[in-house]
């Protein structure tokens, strides 16, 4: 931590700050600049309030130097983490694609989608059974019945299941069906949920809060990691900016920045980060070109009749075409699509 004294801070003020630092068992190193004196604080500052010292007379502000996350840090854990969920691996050499509808709407809809994305080479099936909705008046999901349908789809296709859990009390139930627990953008700082999901032992797909800085995102991951669960997949899903031409702004910079700061795998969700199926293929390609380890995509057999997010869902036919494009991009960055999960015999639905 660096403490910046005001221009004109007195010797007594500087000494008082230094004493206060040393009384906490830390060391104070003053630097006398032409305008400002700066006091470097050395020692274990991580559990101090970030604004410790700023109220002392003569102090202008203080600056943290160390990164506040430790378990998520690439500096301290330089080996990449690969998260395994059933036959899917995220974070290794292969690119993983998680696909499926926004919501589980019916058995027919889900099984049709599951088989289509399976046939196209997807590595996991997504689908929401419990849905966070901005308005209390819109469809809130099928609940446990949706989870049962997802499990059936897994049996048929072999695809592991990624589905959202919205409250700590439902973690046990959702974890009993799902292969990966998805934590949504609105819950990135729902600490009880982060802990409960971590403690379930299941891999966690953590979506970035729509206005969370990357530092806050890594601190949210730190909550999960601090439960001893190392299987966290980070997902950039677009941030909120002034631009309204798209639902969110895909922060493509986040991909190389996260890869430089953390050992955790990083995927992108172009369906939500654009909010418009017309732009999903372009941004999916961009994500892989930028170094993402995978994608999570909304696919719906009949977007016209989707109960949520129809506007941003790909039809299966376009998804097949996108998978072909992604294969070419993966090769261009010296990677490849992960091998598809072993195809099980698919009985007629």
Q: Which of residues 252-311 bind its own copies (CB under 8 A)?
A: 252-257, 260, 273-274, 277-279, 282-283, 285-291, 303-304, 306-311
The one segment of 119-127, 149-157, 199-207, 331-339 that binds its own copies by CB under 8 A? 331-339
Residue 292 CB, shortest distance to its own copies, in Å, is 9
Residue 333 CB, shortest distance to its own copies, in Å, is 7
Q: Does 319 bind its own copies (CB under 8 A)?
A: no
Q: Which of 223, 271, 272, 323 contacts its own copies by CB under 8 A?
A: 223
Q: Which of 76, 172, 336, 343 contacts its own copies by CB under 8 A?
A: 76
Window 98 to 117, contacts with its own copies (CB under 8 A)? none
Q: How far apart are CA 303 and CA 103, in angstroms?
A: 11
Long-range contacts of 320-329 (CB under 8 A, 24+ apart): 320/119, 320/120, 321/281, 322/280, 322/281, 322/284, 322/297, 323/97, 323/120, 323/121, 323/122, 325/281, 325/284, 325/285, 326/95, 326/97, 326/284, 326/285, 326/288, 326/295, 329/285, 329/288, 329/289
Window 3 to 22, contacts with its own copies (CB under 8 A)? 4, 6-8
Output the CA torsion 133→191→90→307 (10° steps). Answer: -10
Residue 91 CB, shortest distance to its own copies, in Å, is 17
Q: How far apart are CA 50 and CA 215, in angstroms?
A: 14
Q: Based on CB atoms, which residue is closest to its own copies, 178 or 329?
A: 329
Window 137 to 196, contacts with its own copies (CB under 8 A)? 137-139, 166-169, 186-187, 189-193
Q: Which of 329, 337, 338, 340 contacts its own copies by CB under 8 A?
A: 329
Q: Based on CB atoms, which residue is closest to its own copies, 65 or 349?
A: 65
Q: How far apart are CA 224 and CA 233, in angstroms?
A: 11
Q: Based on CB atoms, which residue is closest to its own copies, 332 or 344?
A: 332
Residues 6+ apart with CB under 8 A from 208: 185, 188, 214, 217, 234, 235, 236, 237, 239, 251, 254
Window 31 to 50, contacts with its own copies (CB under 8 A)? 31-36, 38, 40, 42-44, 46-47, 49
Please say whether the beta carbons of 169 and 130 come within 8 A: no
């Amino acid at each position: 931590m660096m403490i910046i004294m005001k221009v004109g801070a007195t010797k007594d003020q500087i000494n008082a700050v230094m004493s206060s630092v040393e009384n906490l068992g830390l060391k104070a190193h003053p630097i006398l600049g032409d305008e400002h004196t700066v006091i470097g604080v050395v020692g274990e500052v991580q559990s101090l309030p970030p604004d410790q010292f700023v109220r002392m007379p003569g102090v202008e502000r203080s600056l943290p130097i160390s990164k506040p996350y430790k378990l998520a840090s690439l500096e301290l854990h330089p080996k990449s983490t690969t998260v395994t969920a059933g036959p899917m691996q995220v974070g290794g050499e292969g690119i993983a694609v998680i696909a499926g509808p926004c919501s589980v709407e019916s058995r027919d809809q889900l099984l049709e989608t599951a088989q289509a994305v399976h046939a196209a080479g997807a590595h996991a099936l997504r689908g929401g059974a419990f849905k966070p909705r901005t308005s209390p008046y819109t469809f809130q999901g099928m609940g446990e019945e949706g989870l049962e349908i997802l499990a059936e789809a897994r049996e048929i296709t072999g695809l592991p299941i990624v589905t959202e859990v919205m409250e700590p009390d439902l973690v046990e139930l959702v974890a009993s069906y799902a292969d990966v627990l998805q934590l949504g953008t609105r819950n990135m700082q729902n600490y009880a949920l982060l802990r409960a999901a971590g403690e379930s032992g299941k891999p966690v797909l953590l979506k970035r809060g729509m206005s969370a800085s990357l530092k806050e995102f890594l601190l949210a991951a730190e909550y999960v990691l601090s439960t001893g669960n190392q299987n966290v997949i980070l997902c950039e899903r677009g941030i909120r900016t002034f631009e309204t031409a798209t639902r969110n702004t895909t922060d493509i910079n986040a991909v190389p920045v996260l890869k430089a700061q953390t050992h955790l795998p990083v995927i992108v969700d172009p369906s939500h980060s654009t909010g418009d199926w017309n732009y999903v293929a372009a941004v999916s390609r961009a994500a892989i070109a930028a170094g993402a380890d995978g994608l999570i995509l909304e696919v719906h057999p009949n977007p016209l009749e989707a109960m949520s997010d129809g506007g941003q869902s790909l039809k299966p036919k376009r998804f097949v075409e996108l998978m072909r494009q992604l294969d070419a991009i993966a090769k261009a960055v010296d990677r490849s699509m992960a091998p598809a999960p072993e195809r099980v015999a698919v009985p007629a639905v």
